[in-house]
Amino acid sequence: MKIGIINAGNIGLNLAVGWIRHGHDIMLSKDTHPEQLRERARTLALGRGLSETELSRFRYGSLVDAAQFGDIVVMAVYFPRLEHVLEELRRDGVTLSGKIVIDTMNPLNVDASFSHFHDLKFMEHTSVTERLQREFPEANLFKAFNNVPAGLLDIKKWSYGHPPSIIYIGGSSVEDAAQVRTLIETSGFNPQFAGHDLTDSRILEKLGILMHHLADNEYGGNIGIAIGVFKSLSE
C-alpha cells in the first residue's frame, strides 16, 4: 500500500516503522521543523531494529506531497495545529477524494504551562474525525490508533500473544474496512471494527478521557496502558 503520513510526529513515525517492515511505501511529512524529520525517523527506526535498507525506503515530502502520494492517508496532526494544517491543504486544492483517511487524533489542547487537556467544549457536539469529514467530504474517513500512547505503538513492548486492541470506526464499504484491518494487523495489534457511523468516533475520543482517569487513579499516573477486547470461549 502507498501510505502518506501527514504530520509524522510520535504516532505517525511509530506506525511508519511497523509498516515499512511489511513492504508498504511510506511518505513522511511534518508541518513544523520538517528539516528535522529525517533524523527523527532515522533515530527511531534504527532503535526499533530497522536495517539501513529498510530505512532508505522512506520517502519525504510536504504535507501536500504526502496527501497526494498515499492511497491511504494518515492524519496524525497535533490538535492545536489542526486548523493550520487544514488551511495549508485547502490552499493547495487537496480534496483526498476517494482515499482512505485514518484519523489518529484526540482533541487535546495545551495550556500556558504546556499541560494537555481534553477540549470538552469541542467534544460536546463533534469529533476530530467529523471535522475532517466536513473538510474532505469525498474521502473515506476512519478513526483508529487514538487510544494507544505513541511510544507503545511498538508490538515488542507488549506480551507475546496479547496485543492491545485497536478499535476502528468509519469507512463507506466493507472493502475499505478490510484495508484498515490489514494495516492494524501488520502493525501487530488486534483490530476491532465498531461500525461505519462516524458520529461514533466521539465515543473513541471520549474513551481517551476514561484512559487518563484510569492512568491517574489505578496506575499512579503511568499512562502506559491500553485496552484489550477479548471474546470468551464457546461453551
The domain ranges of the chain are 2-217
Query: 74-88, 121-135, 151-165, 201-215: which range is least confident on average?
Result: 151-165
Structure confidence by residue, pLDDT tens digits, 54-65 = 999 999 999 999
pTM above 0.75, yes or no: yes
Residues with Cβ within 8 Å of 34's Cβ and at least 6 positions away in sequence, in order, are 60, 62
d(CA 155, CA 161): 10
| Predicted confidence (pLDDT) at residue 193 exceeds the cutoff of 80 | yes
Share in percent of the chain as helix, strand, coil (round to 5): 45, 15, 40
Q: Which three cell numbers stand for residue 1?
A: 500500500
3-class SS of residue 145: coil
Contact 100, 89 (CB under 8 A): no
Contact 109, 82 (CB under 8 A): no
28 pLDDT tier (thresholds 50, 70, 90): very high
The reported pLDDT for the residue numbered 235 is: 59
The residue type found at 173 is S
The reported pLDDT for the residue numbered 110 is: 85
Nearest 10 degrees: Cα torsion 145, 158, 165, 214: -80
Specify whether the backbone of 114 is left (phi greater than 0), alpha (psi in -120 to 50) or beta. Answer: left
DSSP structure class, residue 47 = H
Strand 72-75, strand 100-103: pairing: parallel
Residues with Cβ within 8 Å of 139's Cβ and at least 6 positions away in sequence, in order, are 73, 95, 96, 97, 98, 99, 100, 101, 132, 133
Whether domain 2-217 has CATH 3.30.420.40? no
